[in-house]
Structure 1
Amino acid sequence: MAWTILFVAGLLEIGWAIGLKYTDGFTRPVPTLLTAASMIASVVLLGLALKSLPVGTAYAVWTGIGAVGTAILGIVLFAEPATAMRLGAIGLIVSGIIALKFA
């Protein structure tokens, strides 16, 4: 169950990272509120996952999910470059997340 909670926390981290772009410097109320809610929920769920997972593993997986998801959505939503080096680095992060799951 802790891994599921951690995964959802990582998805919410993607949500707030992408949401920051839509807040326009916190000048748009609805995106700002949704982003803040996602931030809070993500950290709360991370805290719940930490009840049974090692802090180093949980934090690395949480940030890894956020980094990979945000990078992929940056490519899809904001036309950021999808170079071979960038995609390879994303693949390495995913490999690290999987390795930590089974470590």
Structure 2
Amino acid sequence: MTWVVLVLSGVLEAVWASALSASDGFKKVVPTIVFVAGMALSMAGLAYAMTAIPVGTAYAVWVGIGASLTVVVAVLRRQEAASFARLALVFGLVVCVVGLKVVS
């Protein structure tokens, strides 16, 4: 159960990071609310996961999932270019996150 919560918290990291960008420096209300709620839930989930998963592993997985999904969202929204190198590196990050789960 803690791994499921950790993965969902990583997804929420991508949500709040994207909302932070969309908030335009906290000038737009709805993205700001999504940012605050997403960050609070993401942090709460990370804290819960760390009760059963070692801190280094939990944090690396959380950041890896959030960073990977944030890049994917930015590419899909055409805010960032999708080069072969960028996508290969994100794929490598995902492989490392899966590897951490496998060896845990």
TM-score (norm 2): 0.96
SS of structure 2 residue aligned to 1:95:
helix
Kindly tell me the number of residue pairs found equivalent between the two proteins: 103
Q: Which amino acid aligns with 1:14?
A: A
Q: Which amino acid in structure 2 is aligned with residue 60 of structure 1?
A: A
Q: 4+ residue runs of structure 1 moved beyond 6 angstroms?
A: none
Moved more, 4-13 or 21-30: 21-30
Tell me if 1:2 matches 2:15.
no
Structure 1 alignment gaps of length 5 or more:
none
Q: Quote the offset at 1:79 in angstroms.
A: 4.0
Deviation per residue, 1:16-69 (Å, 9 max, x gap): 010011101101112101111100110000000001001000000000000100
How do 1:18-29 and structure 2 match up within 5 A? 18-29=18-29
Identity %: 40
Aligned to 1:89: 89
Aligned equivalents of 2:12, 2:79: Cα separation in 1 = 22
* Alignment pair present for 1:49 and 2:49: yes
Structure 2 residues without counterparts, runs of 5 or longer: none
How large is the Cα RMSD of the aligned pairs? 0.8
TM-score by length of 1: 0.97
